[in-house]
Amino acid sequence: MRKEPIIALDFASQDEVMSFLHQFNEPLFVKVGMELFYQTGPELLKSIKALGHDIFLDLKLHDIPNTVGKAMEGLAKLDVDLVNVHAAGGQDMMKRAIEGLHKHNPQIKIIAVTQLTSTTEEQLHDEQNIQTSMEEAVLNYAVLAQKAGLHGVVCSPLEAKIIQEQCGKSFLKVTPGIRPKNSATHDQKRITTPEDAQKLGSTHIVVGRPITQSDNPVESYHQIKESWLKNG
Ligand code: C5P
């Protein structure tokens, strides 16, 4: 999988996505999330692929094992490069997900969401009734994902270090919450710079607004890419 920063295409329409992408003259790695996919469907993915870009389809599947397995068989036909599920769906669900996916395309990587970064430790205890620390809960799901045969997890860069210690360097740690020095944090709470994410063990970073809302997206992308890859 490409090591370049994964650009989160959080736009409202296919037109906006395409005019953003047409500014770039190089292959990118982009993330399409559920808001966009539910509106545009697979057509958007075909247009992005036609430009030569890699796609992380971030739909976070979570259902009974049979349903997720069958849904993954469908996603495997979309020519994407990376997909994901919620680890909370359990080991059987994750196993069926990877089986379904690889039936049609064994090249696609699959990772698990551990705990959403919007979940607080208080919610973990009071709503999910998980009485461990957030770190332990995240690590538990990362280990479960690895046992199920998944390629990695989505996590905070601040959790990447302990996951690396437990699950190894090659287990993917795809981390949002990235902000270059002196840039606006928006609604992200626990942020790190691209350099620090690299040091903490992230294998891939996801960056949205610092690039998509920049006055010069191409320049911002290259600055982030340089600082991310310089120690990699
Ligand atoms: O604009 P920004 O860089 O904050 O975008 C981060 C992207 O990563 C968004 O698409 C957001 O939905 C996604 N994401 C996140 N935190 C997670 C999982 C996904 O910020 N835990």
> Which residues, judged by CB distance below 6 Å to any ligand atom, belong to the binding site of ligand 1?
8, 10, 33, 116-117, 154, 176-177, 186, 188, 206-209
User: pLDDT (tens digit, 9 = 90+) per residue, 161-184?
Assistant: 999 999 999 999 999 999 999 888
Q: What is the pLDDT of residues 24-78, one digit of tens each?
A: 999 999 999 999 999 999 999 999 999 999 999 999 999 999 999 999 999 999 9
103 is catalytic: no
Q: How far is CA 87 from CA 24, 198, 221, in A?
A: 34, 24, 31
User: Any bridge partners for residue 106, and if so which?
Assistant: none
pTM of the full structure = 0.96
**Which of 58, 109, 173, 225 is the catalytic position?**
58
Please state, in angstroms and as integers, the Cα–Cα distance from residue 129 to each residue in 6, 90, 133, 134, 188, following that order. 33, 16, 12, 12, 25
Written as six digits, the tokens of 13 are 């329409």
Q: Is 79 a catalytic residue?
A: no
